[in-house]
Amino acid sequence: MANIRSFTEYVAKTYNDQLWDVAESFISENIDSLGIELRRIRMPGEPEIAEVKVEHVWVDDLPEMKIQFDVALSVIFEIPETHRHYDDFEEKTIWLMVRCSGDLECSLNDFEIFEVSSYTGKNRIKNPLDDSLVPYISYDRLEEAATNFLEEYYPEALEITQQDEEPIWVDPDILSERLGLRIMNQRIREDSSVFGQIYFTDTETMMYDSKTESDIKMNISGGTIVVDPHMYLLRNLGSVNNTIVHECVHWVKHKKVFKLEKLYNESASHISCEVRGGAISTLSTKSTEWMEKQANQLAPRIQMPEKPFRIKANQYIAKFMRETNARHPIEVMEEVITALETSFIVSRQAAKIRLVELGFEDAIGTYTYLDGKYIKPHTFSKGSIKLNQTFSLSTQDAAIERMVNPELHELTSNGDYLFVENHFVYNSPLYVEYDDNGKLSLTRYARSHMDECCLVFDMTITSKLDNIYHTACFLNRGTSDVTFEIKFNNGYQNAPQERQIAMRKKQQEEFIGIRKKMTDDPEQCMELLLEWKNMSYTDLGLEIDRDPKTISRTVKGKTSPKVETAALICFGLNLPPIISEKLMSVLQCPLSKIDIKHQWINEALQLKYPEPLWAVREYLSQYGVEI
């Protein structure tokens, strides 16, 4: 692993002699005005420096490769006693501010100290660089930094176009040409794990050759962006464009980091950006982490400038809502994201994230994939959930959370909340309905009011992944190497409408009334339930594809039913949990808590009971359970 490169450390080691000289000169010239109080010395002699230490360095980013830097020095010196009867001295410490300048293009060979003064605790840095010479860009200044970048290198991208006109997108070929860079398509690694590299200096390096299927030596000139051509096959054009813009950011913002590395390590030549989102290079770990964070934050802001992107997004929302007679923006948000993806030539994920960053929270509920299927778009009141919270979770996460979280189990065990379309939704006609296939689905109202009817969950990324990528992962959950821990947010209180709660209570009272009428006699229970559901043995047999006589013999105790058969009867009757639990017990088919298949059947009995049998089977089949 590369060492952490420190400009402070470099200054202290390289310019130690010069700093001693200026410290000695300053003390010699200013000793009388320093206000030094002596307690033991009667006749002070000439001060003698014992130690000069670089305490801190503040670096100011100047044009091209020039820098200025303020060096805080602590200077320890001794003042001897000159009286012949005494052999004593006093030790004193002062702090100095030493102002320096130099040009990294010539490796600071023009280093100059142009001002020395007493340290006051303040520096005069306007455009600060950190100790690795990475620019300081706070989160609230990212938009400004991206705008400044475009004003200098691609000003036309900031122009506002009319509603019927396409925005001016950032063409990475034109941008790289303006920066004096060339783009080279070349396989980098056999496994395509590195999708882009920026070379700061001429170098001989190893590249993968597809023809020989081996690594070969190649000469790469400085100012070259190498892009793996497999990117065009494995990823979309928007991702390729982002890669090139990302490398351009490195070139503009991080040349000085590279020059510092060269002062330590003459063999340094490039930065490599990996498919997984990190960076590997000959530069230090600390430097690459900060540079990757900035490049990842700035590249999409450069490709999708704040003002033109926001205006175009609003234009598209208005256009598509008008054309489709939509009542809520979420109904057209997929079309909006697709249009922005096409207009700005970016990836769908990048367009979605950019919308969310700019306050279009309706975009959060789009393009999410769970359990191998697409989750329909949904939205909620602005600010009702945080970025690392969600209404959507996988079937397995839902089952695990119900098992380990008592509060969630209580909310769902009585049927108040159903698991529909990968959401725990309040069981009410306002929020849940049957689609054309007879399967439960969220209503149009529910999808526009998720915070009113659905439970919310906290997400934590458990796989090894740097925090700078968390935003992208939270907003783009799908098939990937990223793994999430999902936990029920106990403190979150949703608020179903009072009328819906009243309807649900009335329904629960009906269930409880039926449950109280059930005895331990299977025949009595079945007759009661069939009458309640207005069904016969024949109707039930057709529903679950079983001979009515077989069902009757089972109920009369002439045959011992399997757990799967008993559950099938419950699903065929669409029995709520409070009733199915009793029937399973009466039929002497209790569900084992240590049998994983039984546990999945129990999940279905608690969460999927209003669904048609084919939907229940589809749910269970994901986990190898057949009934």
Rg (C-alpha) for the chain, rounded Å, is 35
Instruction: Select from 183, 181, 142, 150 the least CA-distant residue to 167.
Output: 150
Average pLDDT, stretch 12-34?
Answer: 90
Quick one: pLDDT at residue 253? Answer: 93
Q: Which helix (H) or strand (E) holds 56?
A: strand 48-61
Residue 451: the pLDDT is 87
Distances from the Cα of 252 to the Cα of 118, 145, 175, 269, 293, angstroms:
35, 12, 11, 16, 15
Question: Given pLDDT bands bounded at 50, 70 and 90, which one contains residue 285?
Answer: low
pLDDT score for 115: 94
Q: Which residues, other chains included, contact 96 with Cβ-Cβ below 8 Å and sequence gap of 6+?
A: 22, 23, 26, 72, 73, 75, 116, 117, 118, 119
pLDDT tens digits, 461-509: 555 444 444 444 455 555 444 455 666 765 444 667 777 778 788 888 8
Q: How confident is the model at residue 347 (pLDDT cuts 50, 70, 90)?
A: confident
Is 389's pLDDT higher than 80?
yes
Mean pLDDT in residue range 598-606: 91
Residue type, position 521, single letter: D
Specify the pLDDT at position 598. 93
The C-alpha atoms of residue 71 and residue 11 are separated, in whole angstroms, by 9
Which single residue is written with the structure tokens 């009243």?
A: 502
Runs of H (alpha helix) within 208-284: 231-234, 237-253, 255-264
Query: 485-489, 554-558, 610-614: which has the highest mean pLDDT?
Result: 610-614
What is the reported pLDDT for 149? 97
Residue 277 scores a pLDDT above 70:
no
pLDDT of 59 strictly over 60: yes
Mean of pLDDT values over 11-18: 95
pTM score: 0.70
Mean pLDDT, all residues of the chain: 84
pLDDT in tens, 394-432: 888 888 888 888 888 888 888 889 999 999 999 888 899
What single-letter amino acid sits at 131? Answer: D
Average the pLDDT over each of 88-92, 432-436, 590-594 and give the range with the smallest value: 88-92
For residue 622, pLDDT beyond 90: no
User: Quick check: 32 pLDDT over 80?
Assistant: no
Overall average pLDDT of the 74-80 stretch: 85
Q: Which tens digits make up the pLDDT trace of 218-260?
A: 888 888 888 877 654 444 455 788 888 988 999 999 889 888 8
d(CA 489, CA 408): 9
Q: Which residues pair with 374 in a beta bridge?
A: 369
Predicted pLDDT at 1: 31
pLDDT at 306 over 90: yes
Average pLDDT for 335-359: 91
Q: How is the chain split among helix, strand and coil, in percent rounded to 5?
A: 45, 20, 35
Q: Count other Cβ atoms within 10 Å, centred on residue 260.
A: 27
Nearest to 12 by CA among 51, 56, 54: 54
* Predicted pLDDT of residue 468: 43
Neighbours of 163 (CB within 10 A): 11
Count of Cβ atoms closer than 10 Å to residue 547 Cβ: 11
**Residues in Cβ contact with 470 at an 8 Å cutoff, skipping those fewer than 6 apart:** 388, 461
The residue behind tokens 């450069």 is 302
pLDDT for 48 equals: 84
- Per-residue tokens: 167: 């925005």
pLDDT digits (tens, 9 = 90+) for 126-183: 899 999 899 999 888 999 999 999 999 999 999 998 888 999 999 999 999 999 999 8
Tokens of 420: 């529909």
Pairing of strands 224-227, 182-185: parallel
Model confidence over 261-273: pLDDT tens digits? 888 877 665 555 4
**pLDDT above 50: residue 279:** no
Separation in Å, CA 192 to CA 75, 228, 288, 411, 456: 53, 7, 20, 47, 38
One-letter identity of residue 197: Q
Residue 492's pLDDT is what?
A: 44
Residues written for the chain: 627
- C-alpha 249/C-alpha 297 separation (Å) is 10
**88 C-beta neighbours (distance < 10 Å), count:** 11
CB 108 within 8 Å of CB 102 = yes
pLDDT at 189 over 80: no
When pLDDT is averaged across residues 560-571 and rounded to a whole number, the result is 91
* DSSP assignment of 166-199: ------HHHHHHHTT-EEEE----TT--EEEEEE
Phi, psi at residue 203, to the nearest 5°? -155, 155
Is residue 287 very low, low, confident or very high in pLDDT (cuts 50, 70, 90)? low
- Do 291 and 134 contact (CB within 8 A), yes or no? yes
DSSP-based three-state secondary structure for 125: coil
Mean predicted confidence (pLDDT) in 298-324: 95
The percent of residues above 70 in pLDDT, for the chain, comes to 86
Structure tokens at 442: 């969220």
For the segment 338-350, the average pLDDT, to the nearest whole number, is 91
At residue 608, the 3 state secondary structure works out as coil
